[in-house]
Structure 1
Amino acid sequence: MIKEFKQFIMQGDVLDLAVGVVIGSAFTGIVKQVVDGLITPLVGLVISLFIGDSDLEGALSILDWKVRDGVVFSFGDVISAIITFLITGLVLFLIVRAVNHAKNLHKKEEVEETAPSAEDYLAEIRDLLKEQNAKNIKENRNQQDI
């Protein structure tokens, strides 16, 4: 059981997945800070231009839905999370697409470097023999004509 577990862990797919999860988590943190620090204030600025409120919290509070007894549904936070998810998904998609494209280019180069098969050599020998035979027939006709 320990050998099987070791083999499972050492497979390339599992290691690639682990690296992807770690990088994805770190990248999500970066995107969250960009959304919270740049995009959310820009949204607040745009909203404040329409409602005339100069306070960011006041501008963003228009996106919240308040119910009695202090219950608040924060749609601004949900929108921020959706923007974070979409940006993270888009960037990861672009990275995966670039990696797959690079792998396909590498595979095409490997296909071009393959040695000719036995059939290719036999076809080349056949063609050379045909040429040589046609040449001999032509020489024989020229000698008979003389």
Structure 2
Amino acid sequence: MAYDFQIVVDCTEPHTLADWWAETMGWNVEPQDEAFIKEMVAKGFATDEETTHHRGKLVWRAGAAIRHPETDQRVLFQFDAAAKSVKNRVHLDVFVGADQRDAVRDRLVERGATFLWAGRQGPHSWLTMADPESNEFCVT
């Protein structure tokens, strides 16, 4: 039996990081229903502390997600008060093609990413980078 899944990234600023990754990947930030959030707070199912404002809208503090524009692929950015402190055990590989790699690296650095190192194994090569919250990913 095949299973579907999503990737979850713990971070201190999930809405900001979701915006960054959506722009990076050409994906869409999932909209959150502000009326529903207000209703849940008004009915006592949630508290004001479980919400925040992002780009002028009321959103769930716990996280934000991005989706591929044509498929159901999803990455969730989930709030965690602790800042990242060790290397990721899982990371994303962003496939752009060898002819685009350096230009993509330069654009991402301009937008707040950090270039960490270039790697190679046999005929395969990649650039290891970190997003604005220091989560490692590769551009290949």
Q: What TM-score comes out, normalization by structure 2 length?
A: 0.22
Q: What TM-score comes out, normalization by structure 1 length?
A: 0.22
The answer to which structure has the higher helix fraction is: 1
Higher relative contact order, structure no. (Cα contacts within 8 Å, ≥ 6 residues apart): 2
When Rg is computed on C-alpha atoms for both structures, the one with the higher figure is: 1
The answer to which structure has the higher strand fraction is: 2
